[in-house]
Amino acid sequence: MTRRVVITGLGIVSPIGIGLDVFWEAVQAETCGIAQVTRFDASNLTCRVAGEVKNYDGENFFDRRTVQRSALFAQFAMIAGKEAWQDAGLDKFTFDDPDRCGILLGNGVGGLEIDDESHRRLYEKGASKILAMTIPKMICNEAAGNLSIYLGVRGSAHVIVTACASGCDAIGFALDRIRCDRADVMICGGTESAITEYGIGGFCQLKAVSTSFNDAPSRASRPFDKDRDGFVLGEGAGILVIEELEHAKKRGAKIYAELAGYGASEDAYHITAPSPDGEGGTRAIRAALKDAGLRATDIDYINAHGTSTPTNDPVETAAIKTAFGEHAYKLAVSSTKGMTGHTLGAAGGIEAVITALAIKDNFFPATINLDEPDPLCDLDYVPNKGRKGTINAAISLSLGFGGHNSVIVIKKY
């Protein structure tokens, strides 16, 4: 018999707020967290806007030594992870077997600001001036490593790197770990901080980011809109505590929703572009629905990848229409990246948090800045204003560079 898995804790760091209550209020208010870059002088870049975590100071959350020894992406994971841990009531719970609680996070590029600064030092001053903690601060696994130390979690701790699908894949892998009886509780999701001159500059060279709204940053991320011209880089972390159902019930945990299914596929087509017909995304959706034991008609809401790039949005729309048939026109689809920007490896985690809260509160989040839909994007994208409505089951969809497609299914418990 398959072990059922439920969501018992949530934590968030984002451009529209740190902490669950502040964040969810901002989502419901259609708040945009995108503004002009403040972290460095971006005047020489073609894209000068981003979704920064506002007024962030690590010493408001950690002692100075911890701040000095951890990159931003790891700090974000620790803040969101601690919130999810406490939200689940695990700070007051003693495990009979500590090895039955593990960590599985998604991340795309690691400590990019550390890499950036150390390369500057290397080329300007020589190798002897590279920051002493460069390697342990920049490598992707340090998010899980730091979080395990911070919370005292002794089970397995891993990081998944599948570009923008990383956070969603991490949740799916964590689900499988509990189902396979290798854990009872998993802390999972995604974290990322890549807003550096190197990071944005690299995406500028790929012509992947928005360049037309530098003077109107709140309008720059506009998923499914005909005037979209690229994504806007964001940052943050979205972390879930997921738990075997009987374990959660035994300790009296509150339950947000059930994590019911996971599906993944590979386009095998191109290193950055999705397969034009969206068939890879379709296969991932179908696999997730099958894993959850649900029909396409059971789904009420999709939190789409919706990057605001010319290529992604119509391809993702095509994937949804193929997977859901006529039902695609009866469900709500939205991209919350208009508010947060594209947080890369954190996106799947942040959007899973949103999806769980959407189900809990029966609220369809809006796709902001959707003023005139692309004719190829003809579904109900909940334009500009969120709305109430029954959500019994939903999917969160993530697509990554390299052709990675990842889908999780969340349903009412």
Q: What is the mean pLDDT of the chain?
A: 96
- Check: CB of residue 11 under 8 Å from CB of residue 81: yes
**Domain shared by 196 and 115, yes or no:** yes
**Domain shared by 266 and 402, yes or no:** yes
- Residue 322: what pLDDT? 97
- Asked if the structure places residue 57 within a domain, the reply is yes
Count up the domains in the chain and report the number. 2
pLDDT at 274 over 90: no
327 in catalytic set: no
Burial zone of 271 (CB within 10 Å; 0-12 exposed, 13-18 middle, 19+ buried): exposed
Q: Which two tokens stand for residue 76?
A: 């974000």
Q: Determine the structural domain holding residue 225 and report its residue range.
A: 5-250
Percent of the chain at pLDDT > 90 equals 94
**Domain shared by 304 and 245, yes or no:** no
Among candidate residues 5, 174, 190, 3, the one with its CA nearest the CA of residue 101: 174
**Domain shared by 221 and 304, yes or no:** no
Among residues 164, 168, 204, 377, the one annotated as catalytic is: 164
What pTM, to 2 d.p., does this model score? 0.97
pLDDT bucket at 271, cuts 50 / 70 / 90: confident
pLDDT in tens, 207-219: 999 999 999 999 9
47 in catalytic set: no
- Asked if the structure places residue 256 within a domain, the reply is no
**Domain shared by 322 and 202, yes or no:** no
Among residues 140, 204, 342, 377, the one annotated as catalytic is: 342
Instruction: Match 């990019």 to its residue by tokens.
Output: 112
pLDDT bucket at 39, cuts 50 / 70 / 90: very high
pLDDT in tens, 291-343: 999 999 999 999 999 999 999 999 999 999 999 999 999 999 999 999 999 99
The CB density around residue 372, as the number of other CB atoms within 10 Å, is 11
pLDDT at 360 over 80: yes
Please tell me the distance from the alpha carbon of residue 115 to that of residue 135, in angstroms, as a whole number: 8
Among residues 204, 305, 377, 404, the one annotated as catalytic is: 305
Please tell me the distance from the alpha carbon of residue 140 to that of residue 123, in angstroms, as a whole number: 24
- Asked if the structure places residue 366 within a domain, the reply is yes
305 in catalytic set: yes
**Domain shared by 45 and 119, yes or no:** yes
- Residue 208: what pLDDT? 96
pLDDT at 1 over 80: no
Q: Which two tokens stand for residue 131?
A: 């920051």
